[in-house]
Structure 1
Amino acid sequence: MIRPTRRSVVALAAGAPLALLLGVAMPQLWTLGLLWLPLTLTLIGLDALLAAPVAVVRVRSPGAVAIGAPLVVDIEVERAGGAAAAIELAIGTGPRLEPRGDDRVHIRADEHEARIAFTAVRRGSDGLQQLWTRWTGPLGLVWHQRFEPIDRRIVITPDIRPVREAAVLLLRDAQVGEMMRVDRGEGSEFDALAEWRSGMERRAIDWNHSARHLKLLARENRIERNNQVVFAIDAGRAMCEPVAGLPRIDRAVTAALLAAYSALKLGDRVGLFGFDSKPRVASGTVSGTRAFPLIQRLAGELDYSSAETNFTLALATLAGNLTRRALVVVFTEFTDQAGAELMIRAAANLMKRHLVLFVVLEDAELEAIAATEPHAIDDVSRAVAAAAMLRERRIVVSRLRHLGIHVLEAAHDRVGPALVRQYLDFKRRNLL
């Protein structure tokens, strides 16, 4: 496809005032003004013929990218028939990929490679659909534009970069000191008999074995392994609202994967449960780090939803699937006290047999609106509304805690490590 550039349009439009000035200044030469149009059209035709062809040799991109991570597309071009002017490239994508900065990239006449970066903003499947290439001739009067289909599929997966980076550090710190102390000396599972020493609890003395060996012996216990940890992720409408550029559900999935990897690493059994208006994903419990890719794949299949969350059905279904006591970690968001009433009732029934932990993200945007100094009447209205929503949120959190349900509230970039520390604290206190 050939299109005129801005330079050629300006050149054609400039012919009319030039012909008018020539006719006013020298009426006998007014016919020369008529030559401007065919002369400009001839130059445009020559520019279209002399433009060197351009071919896109290769388009390289990864087949998968984590949500929130950059997707870098490398493009290699080849100029045939001599040097060409600058080249512009653009790639068409679906709604799950957004360009980082300008969606077009420019290549100078002496360059042969280009790079376009996108950001994955939603989990799922997207793709690189089309590639637009355009370049000008030596006079810059004509655009040569070409369209090429790419049809390259890109899978946008949950972000497991914090799992690789933070899990190793958290577990290493726990296993070097604190978990060794937790693993032995506390808990409910018998480990060994040791001679009783000053400072040990008297209730740890095993009187039967002490009488048999004629010296005081104490029982050393250890934290029970093979506990069940279930991560229940709310995928309803409220969880699809963005926090720092990414939906809440994706923040929750990242934190759940970090905690799931830690639990698998420490020998516990892990399950994943996703729900909105009804249960969507139920993995059952698995063990061993080799099962982590299964949890990751199921978390990636948890889609966004515009439906209201049905906590009664979801938590009742989850309780029916659990055959033994488990730690149930619920990732959710509550916007008002009235809407959270059913959630509180369902959680109260669940905690009769299980240890329940609710994980919510701090709403930094809402807190900033409530704390902003008002300068107009609209600012006052927004601040009052934000303060009322925060107050209702604190009331719901207080009611959950009064029922004996644990609540973890943390910022989006610290919720994963905070959840792992909370999980380790539960194991230390033998609450599982």
Structure 2
Amino acid sequence: MASARASPDPGTRTRLAFSFGPRFFLILLVGLVWLGPGWIEPRFLFAMVLWDALALGVWAWDLLRLPRPAQLELRRIWNAPAALGSPSRIEIELINAARVSIFAEATDDVPRALRTEPATVEIRAGAGSSGRAAYSVMPVERGDARFGRVFLRYQTLLRLAERWTSADLTQTVRVYPNLGESKRQTVYLIRSRQVELEKRLKRQRGLGREFESLREYRQGDDWRDICWTATARRRHLVTKVYQVERSQVVWLVIDAGRLLRARVRGLSKLDYAVNAALSLAHVALYSGDRVGLLSYGRKLQQRLGPGRGTPHLRALVEHLALVRGEPSEADHGRAAETLLATQKRRSLIIWLTDLAETPATPDVIESALQMTTRHLVLFGLISQPDLVQLANRSPQTENEMYRHVAAQEMVQRRDILLRRLRQQGALAVEFEPGRLSTALVNHYLEIKERSLL
């Protein structure tokens, strides 16, 4: 993550850029002790005036000792990329080129998508040296966030006078999906299923589509897998060994319409869908497949053709970071037409969406069914935990009974729609937000193992 660096600009304020420090008022308060004797002897009042004049002179001397803004430099330093729902640490560095040590208070203009409270830190920078202080942010939205100026108030160690200034550290920062969670899930899933996958591959003679090797015939092998040309050359039976096909195409399709703006446990359904897509992309690329991305609302948002390798994964992360929810209904038909026109060869389309609560068939189902004759479609739906709990809870009052019946009808309607999808040749899963990534990765691995493509 790049840092921002700038010197304070003394011309950014229209009013006086200096003031009295906290200890100056303390000195004035001490001078009030002359006020009591002054009621008896007026000479003590002159002593108080002299004390105040001396304090003002010391304040002016301290003000002149303060570094000019041109002698200071501010830096905003990121220790790691900003990720959704993951705390990040930001450091503010103050570089002091003057010959006097200073104590400063810096306030950073942080976007509300990263922090709801002002970020104010205290920094001490020695003469000809620098100092740092850190604060934390917790991103709640993906995409680009814009930082503004850093406002600075600084004093000498006497703290009699202070100056104000600001530095233009305007910076646009991209908030990515939760990469750490995706990597942890990916490593766990691959390790936990690697042994099982190897065992199944040994049993899947003839079930795969990609030739792997030849070996001697073993009792129980399918006669259709015998390689007769190799058998003739070697003069004993030789069997073809197949493996799960690699280099297949997987499309991640993300609905960014209004239905996925609903929030569950602090994140929107769209955030869960993006995190699940990232986890799935890790596994698919690890398996040797090519992964493409299409996100859409009323119009197409992000589009990335199928590819493989680490550079392609980085490009996927960049595109996923820019997927933004829209307040309007998504145009599912346009997304389906785009995929049909782009992807001619049979592929796996993983469609992350939700179903509208309507008596009619949702448009997303009608659009997806257009593709089932050419592609294998896997629907990933995010359930509403509150709705499921309400449907399973026993009502205690009349109002609870009405809500209970309505919730049951909505759950049953979704079940009917999912059954229709499966009857038309599509795959469909519905899970709670926290289980969506794991469920989709498991279904993807099962599709690969069963050679459904």
* Shorter-chain TM-score range: 0.7 to 0.9
In structure 1, runs of 5+ residues without a counterpart are: none
* Match runs of 1:65-214 below 5 Å: 65-69=82-86, 70-78=88-96, 80=98, 82=100, 84=102, 87-98=104-115, 103-107=119-123, 112-135=131-154, 143-179=162-198, 181-182=200-201, 185=205, 186-192=207-213, 194-200=215-221, 202=222, 204=224, 206=226
Aligned-pair CA distance for 1:239? 2.4
SS of the counterpart of 1:407?
strand
- Given that 1:370 and 1:384 are in contact with CA atoms closer than 8 Å, whether structure 2 keeps it comes out as no
SS of the counterpart of 1:307?
coil
Aligned-pair CA distance for 1:80? 4.8
Aligned-pair CA distance for 1:82? 4.6
Could you tell me the percent identity over the aligned residues? Answer: 24
**Aligned residue number for residue 329 of structure 1:** 350
Residues 286 and 205 from structure 1, CA distance in 2 versus in 1: closer, same or farther, beyond 3 angstroms?
closer
Aligned-pair CA distance for 1:281? 2.8
* Match runs of 1:368-387 below 5 Å: none
- Given that 2:38 and 2:45 are in contact with CA atoms closer than 8 Å, whether structure 1 keeps it comes out as no
- Given that 1:276 and 1:309 are in contact with CA atoms closer than 8 Å, whether structure 2 keeps it comes out as yes
Aligned-pair CA distance for 1:329? 0.5
* Match runs of 1:193-342 below 5 Å: 194-200=215-221, 202=222, 204=224, 206=226, 218-334=239-355, 336-338=357-359, 341-342=362-363
Report the residue type matching 1:154 in the other structure.
V
CA–CA separation in structure 2 for the residues paired with 1:366 and 1:39: 73
Residues 180 and 266 from structure 1, CA distance in 2 versus in 1: closer, same or farther, beyond 3 angstroms?
farther
Aligned-pair CA distance for 1:234? 1.1
SS of the counterpart of 1:97?
coil
In structure 2, runs of 5+ residues without a counterpart are: 1-16
SS of the counterpart of 2:115?
strand
RMSD of Structure 2 on Structure 1 (CA): 4.6
SS of the counterpart of 1:267?
coil
SS of the counterpart of 1:328?
strand
Aligned-pair CA distance for 1:336? 2.0
**Aligned residue number for residue 8 of structure 2:** none
Matched, 1:2 2:18: yes
Residues 382 and 290 from structure 1, CA distance in 2 versus in 1: closer, same or farther, beyond 3 angstroms?
farther
Q: Deviations over 1:211-232 (max 9, x none)?
A: 9688766553322223221100
Report the residue type matching 1:237 in the other structure.
R
Residues 271 and 137 from structure 1, CA distance in 2 versus in 1: closer, same or farther, beyond 3 angstroms?
closer
Residues 109 and 292 from structure 1, CA distance in 2 versus in 1: closer, same or farther, beyond 3 angstroms?
closer
CA–CA separation in structure 1 for the residues paired with 2:282 and 2:26: 63
**Aligned residue number for residue 426 of structure 1:** 447
Aligned-pair CA distance for 1:313? 2.6
Residues 98 and 64 from structure 1, CA distance in 2 versus in 1: closer, same or farther, beyond 3 angstroms?
same
CA–CA separation in structure 2 for the residues paired with 1:371 and 1:9: 66
Residues 45 and 337 from structure 1, CA distance in 2 versus in 1: closer, same or farther, beyond 3 angstroms?
farther
- Given that 1:44 and 1:142 are in contact with CA atoms closer than 8 Å, whether structure 2 keeps it comes out as no
CA–CA separation in structure 2 for the residues paired with 1:205 and 1:112: 72
CA–CA separation in structure 1 for the residues paired with 2:418 and 2:392: 26
CA–CA separation in structure 2 for the residues paired with 1:324 and 1:332: 23
Aligned-pair CA distance for 1:33? 8.7
Q: Deviations over 1:113-171 (max 9, x none)?
A: 21122233333333432111224566767653222221233233344334544434433
Q: Deviations over 1:249-300 (max 9, x none)?
A: 3332232122223222322222111111132333232244443233333333
Report the residue type matching 1:115 in the other structure.
A
CA–CA separation in structure 2 for the residues paired with 1:383 and 1:48: 76
- Given that 1:68 and 1:121 are in contact with CA atoms closer than 8 Å, whether structure 2 keeps it comes out as yes
**Aligned residue number for residue 392 of structure 1:** 410
SS of the counterpart of 2:85?
coil
Residues 92 and 367 from structure 1, CA distance in 2 versus in 1: closer, same or farther, beyond 3 angstroms?
farther
Residues 322 and 207 from structure 1, CA distance in 2 versus in 1: closer, same or farther, beyond 3 angstroms?
closer
CA–CA separation in structure 1 for the residues paired with 2:329 and 2:259: 8
CA–CA separation in structure 1 for the residues paired with 2:416 and 2:92: 52
Match of 1:59 among 61, 71, 75: 75
Count of paired positions: 421
Aligned-pair CA distance for 1:308? 1.4
CA–CA separation in structure 2 for the residues paired with 1:190 and 1:414: 35
- Given that 1:366 and 1:386 are in contact with CA atoms closer than 8 Å, whether structure 2 keeps it comes out as no
Q: Deviations over 1:361-399 (max 9, x none)?
A: 344566678899999x9xx97997598458525632442
TM-score (norm 1): 0.76
CA–CA separation in structure 1 for the residues paired with 2:41 and 2:357: 82
CA–CA separation in structure 1 for the residues paired with 2:276 and 2:176: 14
CA–CA separation in structure 2 for the residues paired with 1:30 and 1:383: 86
Matched, 1:50 2:62: yes
CA–CA separation in structure 1 for the residues paired with 2:174 and 2:285: 25
**Aligned residue number for residue 356 of structure 1:** 377
Residues 298 and 178 from structure 1, CA distance in 2 versus in 1: closer, same or farther, beyond 3 angstroms?
same
Q: Deviations over 1:329-372 (max 9, x none)?
A: 11123352448622222222322332211223344566678899
Residues 393 and 330 from structure 1, CA distance in 2 versus in 1: closer, same or farther, beyond 3 angstroms?
farther
